Amino acid sequence: MRILFSILSFLFTAALCFVLDTKSVFKLPMGKLLSPQAGIWQNAESFETDFSDQLSFDQLKGKTNVYLDERLVPHVFAEEESDAFFVQGYLHAKFRLWQMDFQTLYAAGRASEVVGDVALNHDREFRRLGLVFAAEKSLVEMENDPISKSACDAYTAGVNQYIASLNYSSLPLEYKLLGYLPEKWTNFKSALLLKHMAYDLTGNDKDFEMTDAKASFSKSDFDLLFPSIQDSLDPIIPKNTLFPTASLQPSLPAFADSIYFDFLKDTIAIPEVEMPDQSNGSNNWAVDSSKTKSKYPILCSDPHLKINTPSVWYEMQMSTPNSNVYGASFPGALGIIIGFNDSCAFGFTNAGRDVKDYYEIKFKDASKSEYWFDSNWVKTSLRIEKINIAGRPALYDTVAYTIFGPVIYDASFSGKNNQVNKNYAVRWSAHDNSNEFKFFYLLNHAQNYNDFQQALPYLKSPGQNCVFACKNGDIAMHVQGAFPAKWKGQGEFVMPGFDSSYMWQGMIPQSENPFQFNPLRGFVSSANQRPADSTYPYFIGSNYPVYRGLYLNRKLSSMNDITTADMMTLQTSNYNVFAEIAIPIVLKNIRVEQLNENERKYFQKLENWRFEYDVNTTAATIFELTWNKLTDTIYNDEYANKPKNTARPYKSTLLDALLSDSSYKFIDNITTTNLETIEDVVTAAFKFASLEANQLEKQNKLSWGKYKDTHVDHLLKLPGFGAEHLKIGGNENCINATKSAHGPSWRMIVNLTPNTDAYGIYPGGQNGNPGSRFYDDGIDNWAQGKYYNLWMMRAEEKNDLRVKWKMVFSNK
């Protein structure tokens, strides 16, 4: 356990002043906080803590037994399905209440109520983005469906029963430190959490940055910097797949060439706001029985997200007369998100499609009550957002809603940049009606591919690459979501909001989303790369990661007699195919005769390297330093006088360019009179990188593990509440896509044999209490690439030695 309970003064000053980044004095009840009977000491959980309990509630219809194993994973056996959701809500609250509660405050733009005005910019942004608006619409859709409403009602009731049992002594630690109490749970809060997940997985838009790039470069230069498709692409659906003709043919607006595709025109001020990690993605794949040793399909899934404590996932089994499902659940939401049942398994990667666009709005006056649209003044809908702020008066923010959506940026708000003097509305697919709870409910109950297909239409946002495998031998990959049918280039830049012809003209029909079912090659896979090649009839954007998918498909194509051990090796692979492709270019173009002794030492490390991003390798660090410096050397002169946040070239752009053209236009430094060659810039970059490598070596930080320095932070970055300096390799271009604070948040491998053989792990623990031995007990094993057996318990195994505690839920 990493928590320093014995140093209260450190917690108080560091956790409140350092974490909240404010000098405000929070008037916490120090007597209660220090009280041996009720204060933080009560959160120090004994190693012998008994989690067994007998509970009875009026809402329950029957009896539910919960068997907690040696890792505190609950195996829920309910006589009634609604009771299983009630118990899931109760368990989520018992072990993750503060996490659930704070994340809903964060998603709703209410963090200032707890941490003060340090969160005010965030709260205003999220209110203006319309997460609450989106959740309200989703709630209506969900509560109009009897199945999802019943399940959510039961889940919410379970959460609230646990909240009702709390007193100050039993409050989670974070409530005591921050001085607030949990609110009653609602179905709306669950909907809000899923909308926040949609934000995380569709929020990395670059419309403003790309608009400035369009204004800064000629069309020919822009096309070189931002190619529409990568040369090295190996798409999710294989090349040369025949796609049907598009049934929707969106029309290009009149005068778009002069109004929208207007290169080398005025730049715009770019809002400076928080953005999700660009690497939010994942890997997933399934191999069919022809390629496995067991002669049954194997499915693998590892979603890449920010790694925190408490963990984003809560592992559990839910067994009812209607279903038996195991996997990773999302505290605050019902069901299993990534997992398997008695018939099939399922997992996801982010589709990466552009489903969030921005439109410039012209208001009639400062009241924002009317805007110019299709040659008329059209009324807005004004939403007054009251933002309560701890320690100061509330702020009232007026948000205008247009036909596109809310006006997120205007003269009164643009994040950290107060120079934005225009109005921009956001059109986001997450604002549309949807019921993702129904999707997960149906998926958890699926017994075959047809059931999987019946569930898919309910998944609208965020768009995902959905992998599926079944014990009958079927495997499939569907690119699923509500994806707008766009004309080529639509949404890459900020669009004019005065003309309806720039609006989305419909959604791509479900049947025309790319998919594969039982392909001849014997596997399906995705790693966030482009879903299809240029023959796919709809415009689907251009910026997708390439290299994990390239390596994954190469490996799966060559593998046979595959075992779960083989899949573990692949899922934790640190091999970097980007480096494999790039290193020959680097080595070929370094003028070795110009290197000094130290530089030659680093050159030899690159020569002898086998492209593995392992913890102790130094060559990976040297290569990263070299490639980053080479990228800067080639492009910085062109960007020197551009707005600072102008979009930079895609990560694949430079490598693809140098592979095909050694005299690539941007190699020459436009600020000098010389004509620089590829040898000039590569050698210069390597020399600069060697200087930095030398400094790192003197500090004993040149090994890849130390340079990357992976860590797991508490959600509030509370010092001592996470894990630092983890010994783990990987890189965003490796299957093991671990970065400093981001990576595989849940690794799962499922061999769909008659008795399912499954393995998994996540970087955290089941209990959200920092004072528990189950708070972070999985982190070190995760870093070492180990797995736990995922035990799909049978009711008759109640006396198995793995069962350590039993909770019984029944009607009063």
Which two tokens mark 490? 């639509």
Helix (H/G/I), strand (E/B), else coil: 426 = strand
Percent of the chain with pLDDT over 70: 94
Query: Tell me: the pLDDT tens digits for 492-504?
Result: 999 999 999 999 9
Characterise 283 by phi-psi region: left (phi > 0), alpha (psi -120 to 50), beta (else): beta
Q: Which residues contact 200 (CB under 8 A, 6 or more apart)?
A: 276, 280, 305, 462
pLDDT at position 37 is 56
In this structure, which CATH number among 3.40.50.11890, 1.10.1400.10, 3.40.640.10, 3.30.230.10 belongs to the domain 577-702? 1.10.1400.10
Q: Give the separation between CA 271 and CA 719, rounded to whole angstroms.
A: 31
Residue 24 has pLDDT above 60, yes or no: no
Quick one: pLDDT at residue 281? 74
By three-state DSSP, how is residue 495 classified?
strand
Higher pLDDT, 28 or 299: 299
3 state SS of 125 = helix
pLDDT tens track for 371-387: 999 999 999 999 999 99
Separation CA 252–CA 503 (nearest Å):
11
Strands 515-517 and 475-480: antiparallel
**Residue 18, pLDDT above cutoff 60:** no
Model pLDDT, residue 273: 79
Do 721 and 710 meet the contact criterion of CB atoms below 8 Å apart?
A: no
Contacts of residue 396, Cβ cutoff 8 Å, sequence gap at least 6:
384, 385, 386, 387
CA 735 and chain centroid, separation: 16
Is the backbone of residue 211 left (phi > 0), alpha (psi -120 to 50) or beta?
A: alpha
CA 646, 647, 649, 651 dihedral sign is positive
Lowest-pLDDT range of 36-40, 601-605, 740-744? 36-40
Please give the mean pLDDT across all residues of the chain. 94
Q: Is the pLDDT of residue 19 over 60?
A: no
User: Quick count: other Cβ atoms within 10 Å of Cβ 339?
Assistant: 29
* Element of type H or E holding 723: strand 723-726
Q: Find how far residue 198's CA is from the centre of its chain.
A: 9
Query: 616: left (phi > 0), else alpha (psi -120 to 50), else beta?
Result: alpha
Q: Of 702, 703, 700, 636, give the one whose Cα is nearest residue 671.
A: 636
Cβ within 8 Å of residue 247, ≥6 positions away: 509, 512
Say whether pLDDT at 26 is over 50: no
Looking at residue 2, its pLDDT comes to 42
Q: d(Cα 545, Cα 548) in Å, to the nearest integer?
A: 8
Q: Cβ distance 515 to 476 under 8 Å? A: yes
Mean per-residue pLDDT, 699-719:
96
Mean pLDDT over residues 83-104, rounded?
A: 98
Enter the tokens of residue 92.
């989520």
Confidence at 6, pLDDT banded by 50, 70, 90: very low
Evaluate if residue 464 carries a pLDDT over 70.
Answer: yes
> What's the pLDDT score for residue 549?
98
**CA dist., res. 345 & res. 430, Å (int):** 26
pLDDT of the residue at 12: 47
- Mean pLDDT for 47-66 is 96
Nearest to 651 by CA among 279, 329, 289, 243: 279
Q: Where are the domains of the chain?
A: 577-702
Is the pLDDT higher at 720 or at 331? 331
Which residue(s) pair with 590 in the sheet?
A: none
Instruction: Write the pLDDT tens digit of every residue in 401-438.
Output: 999 999 999 989 988 766 778 999 999 999 999 999 99
Considering only the C-alpha atoms of the chain, give the largest distance between any 2 of them, rounded to a whole number of Å.
Answer: 87
Q: How far, in Å, are 15, 349, 413 from residue 457 at the CA level?
A: 44, 17, 36
Task: For the beta carbon of residue 351, count every other beta carbon within 10 angstroms.
Answer: 26
* Predicted pLDDT of residue 35: 62
Peptide bond into 310 cis (omega under 30): yes
Q: What is the reported pLDDT for 68?
A: 98
The pLDDT assigned to 457 comes to 98
d(CA 512, CA 528): 19
Q: Which two tokens stand for residue 379?
A: 């009324």
Average pLDDT of span 774-787: 98
pLDDT digits (tens, 9 = 90+) for 121-144: 999 999 999 999 999 999 999 999
User: CB–CB of 758/747 below 8 Å?
Assistant: no
DSSP state of 415: B
**Ramachandran category for residue 165: left, alpha or beta (phi over 0 → left; psi -120 to 50 → alpha):** alpha
